[in-house]
Amino acid sequence: MGYERLLKEELRVLNIGLENFYIALVQQNVKVVNVRPRQRRKIERELEEALEKLL
- Interface residues with other proteins (CB under 8 A) are 1-7, 9, 11-28, 30-38, 40-41, 43-55
Give least dist CB 17 to other proteins, A.
3
Give least dist CB 45 to other proteins, A.
7
Give least dist CB 29 to other proteins, A.
9
Report the distance separating Cα 35 and Cα 1, nearest Å: 21
Report the distance separating Cα 15 and Cα 23, nearest Å: 10
User: Is the Cβ–Cβ distance between 26 and 32 less than 8 Å?
Assistant: yes
